[in-house]
Amino acid sequence: MYLITLEGGDGSGKGTATKMVSEILLKEASFTSVEITAEPRRNHPLGKLAVESVRTGDAGPLQEAGFFAADRLDHSHMWIRPRLAMGSVVISERNVHSSLVYQGIVGDLGLDQVARLNSGAMVPDLTIWLDCDPEVALKRINQGTLRMETMNKTEYFETDELQKKIRSGFHSLLGGDIPMPSPFDKGAIIGPIMNHGSEAELEEKIRSTIRRFLSSRPSPINVSLQEVELNLIRKSMDANDGQQTLDVGASPSRDHEDWLQGEAPWKILSNAMKIYSDAWNSTNSKLASTVPKVALSETVFSIIGTLSMISSADVKQLRSTLGPVRTVSHRHTQRMIQFLDAHQWIRRHRTILGREAPRSELRPDWQAFGKLALLLGPIRPKLHEWHRKAGSSPRWKDALANLLKNGDESLISNVKLCIQRFEVIGCGRGKDSKIPEDIDEFRRWYRGD
């Protein structure tokens, strides 16, 4: 979902920082995976051309920049983007900003020309800029800790004079003295993060940076939230369909085709709101204070929506299935499971394979609300706002029509996102039912007409 890059001069500590970013994200985030890469790719033919041009310095800035751009474009579309679209975070040690500095500024090729060569590449969502005094950097380089085993010669950039120019180039470009060329002006740049102290000090600075970035929940630049969400919903539903487990005394398995069970969507939403509200009001104050008060909250939609796709209410599995779009903190996930369990919305049963521990999963009669939560996710905030204004007796049947009559362009766009989700989630009326294809059909589907 996000491309995070580590930039800075040679010897600034990018390799160490890359590992730190990975470890922090694995512990604190909900991406489907954390992938580490680097540019140029030393194990790929295109990357090897770029490495060789840097090693010798014979290619010249234009050809050198072309080698790096070719490697980056292939890397972007064949390796990075597919992972972003599946909800992974990709961490790259060096990316496009290195080319802009090394060939565009230091190599005198010009930022605009280097940007044009790379314009089809992925744009970093976050760039973490590491800085280090050139003398310290060269000492690290010459100690051999940074040199690849396959390289037995000093790269032509690894000289004191050029290291000073490189550092100045990063300060000018990433520091904002020189305008960042399009399209690479879209991402966030944090730095300079000075790396002269201990690894513990560097890790703390990086952790703070990552937490600020994630808490701001920026929209990804290279893929849409809708694309990521549809991919993850499809993957979860396909995986669950492949799990055929016979249960002793179990209720019928979840139905991915006829999940509405003949009810109108508005009625399912209305009933869920009332049942949830009554449950919250009857819950002990300590637990109630840790979970949302209304079923239209993002946490409730995320948790129950995800539970409707998987056959386990285990917190670890649930967290791994939530993904980055429906992400909920570990603490809130635990509290919601406790709340649902307390009100028996989670059922427990044993498999016929004797020794397996009892499983727990969302009760079948809450499956419809879960699927509805996934489908209506894009307009959940608007429904929540409408509910707050509607008073104590909201007419849920008319909620969508009332929202749409104002002609809110953002709402209309989000309704169209809901319509796209029918292709994955279904309309809930059986496999032979017509899926709504426009806003009028979506409105009639919601009303149960």
CATH number of the domain within which 106 lies: 3.40.50.300
Find residue 204's DSSP bridge partners: none
Choosing from 189, 216, 243, the residue where a domain stops is: 216
pLDDT, residue 159, reads 59
Phi, psi angle pair for 428, to nearest 5°: 80, 10
Alpha-carbon gap, residue 319 to 330, rounded angstroms: 7
| Alpha helix (H) residue ranges in 29-175 | 45-56, 61-75, 81-85, 96-99, 111-117, 134-142, 160-174
Q: Indicate the angle between helix axes 315-322 and 298-307, nearest 10 degrees.
A: 110
The whole-number mean pLDDT for each consecutive block of 10 residues of the chain, a chain of 449 residues, reads 95 92 94 96 94 79 92 98 98 97 92 97 98 75 50 51 89 96 96 90 96 95 97 88 45 65 95 95 94 95 94 85 91 92 80 55 90 97 93 89 90 96 93 91 94
CA distance 162 to 83: 35
251 and 344 housed in the same domain: yes
Do the Cβ atoms of 40 and 73 come closer than 8 Å?
Answer: no
CA dihedral 87, 93, 96, 101 (to 10 degrees): 160
Please check whether residues 122 and 240 belong to one and the same domain: no
CA 121 and chain centroid, separation: 19
Note the maximum CA span of the chain. Answer: 77
* Tens digit of each residue's pLDDT (9 = 90 or more) over 284-314: 999 999 999 999 999 999 999 999 998 888 8
- In this predicted structure, what is the pLDDT of residue 151? 43
Instruction: Give yes or no: residues 180 and 264 share one domain.
Output: no
- Domain count along the chain: 2
pLDDT tens figures, 129-164? 999 877 776 676 666 544 443 344 445 455 578 888
pTM, to two decimals:
0.87
- In contact, 16 and 132? CB cutoff 8 Å: no
Asked if 204 and 295 sit in the same domain, the reply is no
> What is the spatial distance between Cα 124 and Cα 145, in angstroms, rounded to a whole number?
27
Q: Please indicate, yes or no, whether residues 198 and 134 belong to a single structural domain of this protein.
A: yes
Q: 31: closest CA among 308, 212, 228, 213?
A: 228
Q: What is the pLDDT of residue 175?
A: 95
Q: Which amino acid is at 348?
A: R
Whether 141 and 251 map to the same domain: the answer is: no
| Residue 393 shares a structural domain with residue 286 | yes
Per-residue confidence (pLDDT) for residue 10, from 0 to 100: 83
Per-residue pLDDT at 140: 67
Tell me the backbone φ, ψ of residue 239, rounded to 5 degrees: -65, -40
Q: 89 has which bridge partners?
A: 2, 34
Q: Which two tokens stand for residue 148?
A: 């690849």
User: What gap in Å lies between CA 96 and CA 22, rounded to an integer?
Assistant: 20
259/199 same-domain check:
no
Domain of residue 437: give its range: 225-447
Within 8 A by CB and 6+ apart from 106, the residues are: 157, 162, 165, 166, 169
Alpha helices in 95-195 (DSSP H): 96-99, 111-117, 134-142, 160-174
What pLDDT, on a 0 to 100 scale, did the predictor assign at position 357?
Answer: 52
Identify whether residues 142 and 235 lie together within a single domain: no
User: Among 188, 216, 244, where does a domain finish?
Assistant: 216
Domain boundary among 216, 243, 274: 216
pLDDT at residue 144, as a whole number: 55
